[in-house]
Structure 1
Amino acid sequence: MKVFNSTQFYNYSWDYVSAANWCKYPNELSTHVVGVDVLRREFDPDKGTLTTERLITCKQPIPRWLMFLVGGQDKSYVREVSVIDRNQRTLTMRSCNLTMCKLLRVYETVVYRPDPVSPVSRTRFDQVAEITAFASLRQLCDKLEDWSVERFGQNARKGKLGFDSVLKNLEKQWHGIADKTQVLLDEVNEKTNDVMSGVNEKTGALAKVFGYRN
């Protein structure tokens, strides 16, 4: 068994990152992820947790020496179960490959949490993948596991850059919506003030007509 570890940081709050996670795919850099389907979603109001089960479809080139083992299949499927815990402020994602699972089994755990050093403005990302090959030859097992660790490293780097671009784009969009909302609220307040001023003027005029005094 080989283990892949990665720790990264995003310069955004945990609330923002955990919300933007649902918009992570597709992005222009993580092109190996071609499909994400939600299979189940459950909210537990007592625990304050949201559990989501998804099927993730990936497509990327595989080495020629591995082609004969998988029959030329270039798509792979991953089952992912994520839990957002609002009380603990964690987003935990656990996944396991469904394709080639009798030949190679990959258990991955990802956790997003506020960075202890800058909990308000930065999010820590921890990723651990346990990779085990089941080939009859030890040399083949080592080769499969080494290839998987290398691929995880490549995808982790692309994933970081891709998610950063998603976070930046969403920030622009959400700020644009917030700005438009504020403009709309200002216009509503202005109209309301105009209406109220008109009502007060008419009320004062009527009071004079009917001889009311303060």
Structure 2
Amino acid sequence: MKYWTQERVFDHPWNIVANAAYRKYPNPVNENITGIDVLQQDLKNGVLQSERLLQSHFSIPGWASKLTGFSGTQYSYELSKIDPINRSMHLFTRNLNIVSMLRVDEKLVYEQHPTDPNKTLLKQEAIVEVNLPALTDYCEKTFMSTYQKNAEKGPRGLEWVIEQLKREYNDLSSKVSHELYDLTNVTGLHFPIKERETIFS
């Protein structure tokens, strides 16, 4: 069994990072995730809990494919809990296929930074366990190395999504501003500057 953990700080408020983390895929930085399906979603006591099925594809050595029967297409179960009141988002993921030979558990926790509310702290950990006699240690090291490389892409992909969300917001704000301006001209209604600022703040 191999265990890996790291912490990372994002220079964005928690609500922005949590929104981007949930909408993280697809993104051009990490193209391994090829499909997402929502299995169930519930809101309980202000906490949004979601279950999703993720499909991903990884390039693996030919010998590993022959030995395990794993083609490189992976299906994983993801459980997420988003608590906006306490500013926390928990993500847990586990692979569903070839679990008798390989199990990968991943946990990510996004929380508001303890000393700076304009930043977000990510705590990430992964456990890789391989059950292949005589090859366990080598395979665990190989899969963990692959996981770490993909994990390094994660923050870059998240930053890309955040930029896309900002563009969506700016485009929407611009559209609303233009429509409000047109409405003012057509109806003769006028919104004081302070009211406009309230609407779009």
**Scaled by the length of structure 2, what TM-score is found?**
0.87
Residue 104 and residue 72 in structure 1: after superposition, are their counterparts in 2 closer, same or farther (change >3 A)? Answer: closer
Partner of 1:202: none
Partner of 1:163: 158
Q: Let me know the Cα RMSD of the aligned residues.
A: 1.8
Partner of 1:127: 124
Maintained 8 Å contact 1:4/1:152: no
User: For residue 133 of structure 2, what is the amino acid of its counterpart?
Assistant: S
Partner of 2:49: 51
Q: In the alignment, is residue 78 of structure 1 matched against residue 55 of structure 2?
A: no
Percent sequence identity over aligned pairs: 29
Partner of 1:177: 172
Q: What is the alpha-carbon distance in structure 2 between the residues aligned to residue 29 and residue 154 of structure 1?
A: 12
Q: Which runs of 5+ in 1 are unaligned?
A: 197-214
For residue 151 of structure 1, the aligned residue among 123, 126, 146 is 146
Report how far residue 62 of structure 1 moved. Answer: 0.6
Q: What is the alpha-carbon distance in structure 1 between the residues aligned to residue 143 and residue 163 of structure 2?
A: 30
Q: Which runs of 5+ in 2 are unaligned?
A: 191-201
Report how far residue 175 of structure 1 moved. Answer: 1.4
Q: What is the alpha-carbon distance in structure 1 between the residues aligned to residue 186 and residue 17 of structure 2?
A: 37
**4+ residue runs over 6 A deviation:** none
Q: What is the alpha-carbon distance in structure 1 between the residues aligned to residue 64 and residue 95 of structure 2?
A: 16
Secondary structure at the residue paired with 1:93? strand
Q: What is the alpha-carbon distance in structure 2 between the residues aligned to residue 161 and residue 124 of structure 1?
A: 15
Maintained 8 Å contact 1:40/1:52: yes
Q: How many residues align?
A: 190
Question: Bigger radius of gyration, 1 or 2?
Answer: 1
